[in-house]
Amino acid sequence: MKKLNVAIIGQGRSGRDIHGAYFKSVERNSHFNVIAVVERDIERRDRALEEYPGCEVFENHSQLYGRTDIDIVINASYSNEHYQVTKDLLEHNFHVVVEKPFAKNRYECDNLIRIAKEHNVKLAVFQQSFFAPFYIAAKQKIASGILGEIKQIDISYSGFSRRWDWQTTQVKMGGNIYNTGPHPIGLALGFLDFDNQCKVVYSKLDQVLSSGDSDDYAKIIITAPEKPVIDIEVNSNDAYPVPHLKILGSKGTYQSTLYKYDMKYMKDGENPPRPLVLESLKDKNGLPLYCSEELIIHEEFGEFDGDAFTTGTELFYDMMYDAIANNVPLSVKPEHASKIISVIEQVHAENPLPVKF
């Protein structure tokens, strides 16, 4: 099996600790060799020489232009640089994986998709949560019908912490929904089958704990015709975060963290409908009776093997290898990521925060 040569732009938390960690893993990575690293910081460049044996290091991505030995470039630059750097790479005929967020707005996303098609190169956005075991399991439970008709899905990527880095500033395209939001918003749109009629019916952005001027409180409700309501929260002031995912169906409820799930549900025929009683309920002695019964309820629980950063990353890069080496269509398409950014763009337009920095 031929390995593909990789260049990584950026050796920060994503470029080094997510993408780099995968590429350096002997157990998980059998498809790729890192042969070039682009990084402004000299200390990080020196570290890259040690961590990726045989690679070359560069200060600017333009130094990659003209190379014919690079099969794919990973763009893990600052969020506000994603669009321009990706555009430059596509126009120089590189296959590109760009970190989320894809770009700032729908126009930029769709323009990158157009450029990739014009240059006949692959473009993907690192939305590896679509391969996360907890999401795949939830989709399978919904498809099985065991929960009945799905009425509501709650997705929470919240916690209780504060930040003071570049990810808290609007000038760097930071904030909860640009940084973390592409994951829950993407999963929400996935649950809605990326319906073109999907719409944001409520949104709220605010600042609570972080030092910058971008959002660290986000509430978004989206839905589509004849589809469930999806409630999304990405908050930094939630000291009692609920499970990452809760699905409410007509026959039961499913909830999960990133690592385990449990479910309660009813089976058809085991709890036949009760006849409606319009008079006040009373017991055999004529005393008031509360309307209650013992339903036959089944329970199920289990654990997931892996998460978005291990299994999800590995499956994402399996997809990328097949796309480049074997011309297999991408299952996580850039058009999906463009719709995610469209939601984020609308929410920001509805909730403008003052720019301070």
Report the C-alpha gap between 158 and 236 in whole angstroms: 6
pLDDT mean over 329-344? 97
pLDDT of residue 243: 82
Residue 119 banded pLDDT, cuts 50, 70, 90: very high
pTM of the entire predicted model: 0.94
pLDDT mean over 86-91? 98
Helix (H, G, I), strand (E, B) or coil at 266: coil
The overall longest dimension of the chain from CA atoms, in Å, is 91
Bridge-partner residues for 308, per DSSP?
A: none
Q: How many residues does the chain have?
A: 357
CB hemisphere CA count around 330 (13 angstroms): 22
Torsion of the alpha carbons at 56, 62, 66 and 68, rounded to the nearest 10: 50
At 20, which amino acid appears? G
Tell me the pLDDT tens digit for each residue of 125-153.
Answer: 999 999 999 999 999 999 999 999 999 99
Residue 67 banded pLDDT, cuts 50, 70, 90: very high
Q: What is the torsional sign of CA 285, 287, 291, 292?
A: negative
Q: Do 29 and 22 meet the contact criterion of CB atoms below 8 Å apart? A: yes
Tell me the pLDDT tens digit for each residue of 228-284.
Answer: 999 999 999 999 988 899 999 999 999 999 999 999 999 999 999 999 999 999 998
Helix (H, G, I), strand (E, B) or coil at 111: helix
User: Which numeric CATH code is attached to 130-270+298-310+340-350?
Assistant: 3.30.360.10
Domain boundaries of the chain, sorted by first residue: 4-128, 130-270+298-310+340-350
Residue 65 banded pLDDT, cuts 50, 70, 90: very high
Q: Do 353 and 214 meet the contact criterion of CB atoms below 8 Å apart? A: yes
Third-level CATH fold of 4-128? Rossmann fold (3.40.50)
Question: How much is the mean pLDDT over the chain?
Answer: 96
DSSP secondary structure, 205-245, as one string: EE-SS-SSSS-SEEEEEEE-TTS-EEEEE--SB-SSPPPSE
pLDDT mean over 171-199? 96
Q: Do 261 and 304 meet the contact criterion of CB atoms below 8 Å apart? A: yes
Name the pairing type of β-strands 72-75 and 4-9: parallel
pLDDT mean over 336-353? 97
